[in-house]
Amino acid sequence: MDAPVTAGARTQAPPGTRVALLATCFNDTMWPETPKAVVRLLERLGVTVEFPVEQTCCGQMFTNTGYADEAIPLVRSFVEVFGRYDAVVAPSGSCTGSVREQYADLATRSGDSGLQEAVGEVAPRVYELSEYLVDVLGITDVGAYFPHRVTYHPTCHSLRMLHVGDRPLRLLREVRGIDLVELPAAAECCGFGGTFAVKNADVSVAMGADKARHVRDTGAEVLVAGDNSCLAHIGGLLGRERAGVRTMHLAEVLAATEESA
């Protein structure tokens, strides 16, 4: 289902393009290499990146665990921090999905019509990284170089909440030197699921074990995905098995160049 690369395909963002980075609290604290890679990548493409330091957490963990009252103030602060940007980009399918698909329900619960309106305004302008690159910037060749055998896991929220489709694969296929191999049963959940990973740890691990087996079967050196939370789960299992497979966020592969290799 590849869209043909048109003659006018971009390799640079239009002059003056700016975007706000939603780093996500998890990446900010645990996986800073990922938002750093987003910054390097976007700046290389000619985009001015801003990072509003007032941002903390989108509230997804609270929402999905049933703590809606605890999530609502985070929705409020999200629209305050990001409401003034035309575009917000996040290296996370699940946090983007939470803003775009769940904020409306939380705003309704708050009973605050102003918040509902603000959410309706900002939510459609929040993009997962591959959506932003392909749909907003119109770029699939980001000039990356990554000479490794790679397999890609499309995380559930990217796939079924945001419907990012094959955008990440279109980006990866343009990476020079890459040996991209298909992951068997790629669309099946890895079993992370936020607090599901601890509330139903046994089922979560059983699901992850199958995912890890499929990853090993590809012979890939690197497992790539658009959500570090899923990667932490699968990588945590692969690490326990000493499988010799690295996990990397899509942003880090796209940010890699010959100079950085």
Partner 1 sequence: MSGEGRARGRTRLPRAETTATFVGMPAFPSMAREALDNTQQRRNLAHATHTIRTKRAAVVGEVPQWEALRLNGSQTKDHMLAHLDDYLLQLEENLVEAGATVHWARDADEANRIAIDLVRAEGVDEVVKVKSMATQEIELNEALEAAGIAAWETDLAELIVQLGHDRPSHILVPAIHRNRSEIRDIFRREMARAGRPAPEGLTDEPTQLADAARLHLREKFLRAKVAISGANFAIAETGSLVVLESEGNGRMCLTLPETLISVVGIEKVLPSWSDLSTFLQLLPRSSTGERMNPYTTMWTGAAAGDGPQDVHVILLDNGRTSVLADEVGRQALRCIRCSACLNVCPVYERAGGHAYGSVYPGPIGAVLTPQLRGTSSKLDQSLPYASSLCGACFEVCPVRIDIPRLLVRLRTQVIDGKRGGLPTAEGAAMRSAAWMFADHRRFEKAQDAATLGSLLLGRRTSIHRLPWPASAWTEARNAPVPPRETFREWWVRTHGESATGTTGSGGPGAAGGVR
Residues 7-66 that bind partner 1 (CB under 8 A): 13-20, 23, 25, 27-33, 35-36, 39, 47-48, 50-57, 59, 61-66
**Which residue, 189 or 224, is less far from partner 1 as judged by CB?**
189
The residue from 70, 117, 182, 217 that contacts partner 1 (CB under 8 A) is: 70
**Which residue, 150 or 156, is less far from partner 1 as judged by CB?**
156
**Which residue, 34 or 178, is less far from partner 1 as judged by CB?**
34
Q: How far apart are CA 131 and CA 139, in angstroms?
A: 10
| AA letter at 246 | R
Q: What count of other Cβ atoms lies within 10 Å of the Cβ of residue 242?
A: 7
Least distance between partner 1 and beta carbon 208 (Å): 7
User: In which element (H, E) is residue 246 found?
Assistant: strand 246-249
- Stretch 175-194: interaction string toward partner 1, x if CB under 8 A: ------------xxx-xxxx
* 200 near partner 1, judged by CB under 8 A: yes
Using the contact rule CB under 8 A, the part of the chain among 142-150, 165-173, 203-211, 252-260 near partner 1 is: 203-211
Q: How far apart are CA 235 and CA 232, in angstroms?
A: 5
**Which residue, 56 or 176, is less far from partner 1 as judged by CB?**
56
Q: Are strands 246-249 and 149-152 parallel, antiparallel or unpaired?
A: unpaired
Q: Answer whether 223's CB lies under 8 Å from 234's CB.
A: yes
- Stretch 224-253: interaction string toward partner 1, x if CB under 8 A: --------xx-xxx-xx-------------
Residue with tokens 């645990």, as numbered in its chain = 30
**Which residue, 67 or 147, is less far from partner 1 as judged by CB?**
67
Q: How far is CA 81 from CA 56, 160, 166, in A?
A: 10, 27, 31
Of the candidates 43, 51, 23, 20, the residue with the CA atom closest to the CA atom of residue 255: 43
Residue ranges in 77-96 that form contacts with partner 1 under rule CB under 8 A: 77, 83-87, 89
List of residues 6+ apart from 41 with CB closer than 8 A: 142, 144, 251, 254, 255
The residue from 3, 5, 9, 67 that contacts partner 1 (CB under 8 A) is: 67
